[in-house]
Each structure stands twice: as C-alpha cells, then as structure tokens.
Amino acid sequence: MNLNTLYLAVAGLVLAPLLGGLVAGVDRVVTAKLQSRMGPPLFQPFYDVGKLWSKVIAPASHWQGLFVRWALVASLASDVVLAAGGDVLMCFFVQAASASFVALGAFCGNSPYGKLGAQRELFQLLAYEPVFMVGILCMAKAAGGFDAFSIMAAQGQPLLFKLPLIVPGLLFAVLVKLRKSPFDIAASHHMHQEVVRGVYTDYAGRDFALLEIAHWADVTVVLWICSFLWATGPLQMLATGLVFLFAALIIDNISARLTWRTMLKTVAPLTLILATANLVWLYLE
C-alpha cells in the first residue's frame, strides 16, 4: 500500500460517516418540506447520536454488544475499501456482513419485535443483495475492471448509457438501505416507529449510537456506488448520488409499505431480471 492509498483509506474512514450523517440530515429536512412541516435542523442526526452516546445502557446480552461493534467495523471497512480504490465486489460483501451482524444482534435480544425485525432484515438482504451484486457486475464489465478507480476512470460516455436496466435495481437498494417506504419492513425512520423499530427495538444508548454511525457509513457506500453511473467528474458523481437520494425521498413520501412477501415475489425478481438482462446485453455486444 503506497502513501496516497493510505491517505485515501483514512479519508474514507473519517469522511464517509460524516457524509452519511449529512445525508440523514438532508433526508429529514427534505421530508419535512414535502410534508409541509418545519422539521429539524440539518445537523439533528449528529445531535441525536451525541445524546445517545451520553446514555450508558447495558445491552440485552453480551453477544448483542459484540455484534454491534462488528457491524460498525464492517460498515467502516467497506468505506475504506471503496475510498482506497479497492475491489467494489469485496466492498459489497463486507457491507452485506454489516447488515447480517445487525440482524444477529437483534436475535440476541428479548423483544419479539426485535426478533421479527431481524427476520425481515434477512428477507431484505435476500431480496436486494443479488440485484445489487448483478449491478456491480454490470459496472465492472462495462468499465473493464472491478476496482473502484477503474470504474470511476472508465473512458468514453458515462456508464449509464450502457447500464440503463440496472437503475431500478440500484434505486431498490437505496430505498432499502435508507429504510424508506415501500421497503421499510425491518425498521423505519418515521416518527411513529421511534419506540418499536423492528430490528432496532432492543438497541439503546451507545450501542444504538454506533449502529447509527454504521448506517451512515452504509448509506455513503450505496450512494457512492450508484454515482459510478455518471463518473465523469466529482461534481457529476455528487449530482448522480443526490438524484438517487431525492428519488428515494419522493418515493418514500408517495408510497405505502409493502409486505416482505411482495418484495420477495415481485420487486426483487423483476429488478433482478432487468439487471441480468443488462449484463447479458453487455456480453453480447
């Protein structure tokens, strides 16, 4: 590892959670405007995490606290891999491990709501991860390499023109990772679910704060990968990520929650078929 790669890795480790926190703040502000509410300030997510950190509450079990820390490490590691220009597919698998640790920690709790949320979290993984993986395979095929720098430095026209059919699948992944309707079946950021929040029900205090930071890191990774569709420059990538973010917020505010059965039987197969068709098209051209 050369010095520049080390600097990029450290920058990813520090900046990715901060960017994810800003995304969470933008989420709250925009959602409030769409619902004609005053809403919280932009930095409210950071204030909330600070307040959670001040509360020392024992976890439901030793294993639950351990899984929280593994989830955080996996989320931050995925950011480090991506920032250092590493293998995007490896970043995908590491990020998926973080969600699995969150579910495992919920299974260690005492609340039936937490266990039900953990089951639904695994259903979500089963639904969107194959779609997201095929989307990454499409990007790698179109760019000629799996490392992030190769994809971002792909010559010629933006990858979007070669990969139009993976857009629904990527938006599906963004909606799931942001905990947005119609796919907020395992947890939700809406106010009416602050007490019973599915997979997060048994988490409190500092463990919950660490999970929020892990969630911010995950959101940054997903939006960053989506921005590869128009990686002709930093501003273009930022604009692409914001387009996916605002599309998810609009869908969240006009959609009702689907059941996990509908997600597994309808949405996941449809987006997977589209992404696979795009991959086949790349190999045939």
- Which three-class secondary structure state does DSSP give residue 2? coil
Bridge partners, residue 87, by sequence: 147
Averaged pLDDT, 51-80: 88
**187 Cβ neighbours under 8 A, 6+ residues apart:** 117, 121, 179, 193, 197, 198, 199, 200
**Which pLDDT score is estimated for 232?**
87
Instruction: Answer yes or no: is pLDDT of 36 > 80.
Output: yes
Q: How far apart are CA 229 and CA 247, in angstroms?
A: 15
Q: Judge residue 6's burial from the number of C-beta atoms within 10 Å of its C-beta, 0-12 exposed, 13-18 middle, 19 or more buried.
A: exposed
| Per-residue exposure over 78-96, b if at least 16 CB sit within 10 Å of its own CB, e if not | bbbbbbbbbbbbebbebbb
Question: Before 182, cis peptide (omega within 30)?
Answer: yes
**217 Cβ neighbours under 8 A, 6+ residues apart:** 16, 17, 20, 72, 75, 76, 78, 79
Of 18-22, 72-76, 154-158, 198-202, the least confident: 154-158
A 10 A CB-CB count for 70 gives 18
Averaged pLDDT, 45-68: 86
Instruction: Answer yes or no: is pLDDT of 24 > 90.
Output: yes
Domain holding 169, by residue range, is 3-284
**Which pLDDT score is estimated for 94?**
93
- Which three-class secondary structure state does DSSP give residue 147? strand
Q: How far apart are CA 275 and CA 262, in angstroms?
A: 19
Whose CA is closest to 248, among 161, 155, 151, 178?
178
* pTM of this structure: 0.91
**Which pLDDT score is estimated for 155?**
60
**Which pLDDT score is estimated for 116?**
85
Tokens of 21: 């926190």
Share of the chain above pLDDT 70, in %: 94
Tokens of 131: 């779609």
Question: How many independent structural domains does the chain possess?
Answer: 1
Out of 187-191, 205-209, 226-230, give the one with best mean pLDDT. Answer: 226-230
For the stretch 275-280, contacts whose Cβ atoms lie closer than 8 Å and that sit 24 or more positions apart, written own/partner, are 275/131, 275/134, 275/135, 275/138, 275/165, 275/166, 275/169, 276/134, 277/165, 278/138, 278/163, 278/164, 278/165, 278/166, 279/134, 279/137, 279/138, 279/141
**Which pLDDT score is estimated for 205?**
87
Mean pLDDT, the chain, whole residue set: 88
**Which pLDDT score is estimated for 196?**
59
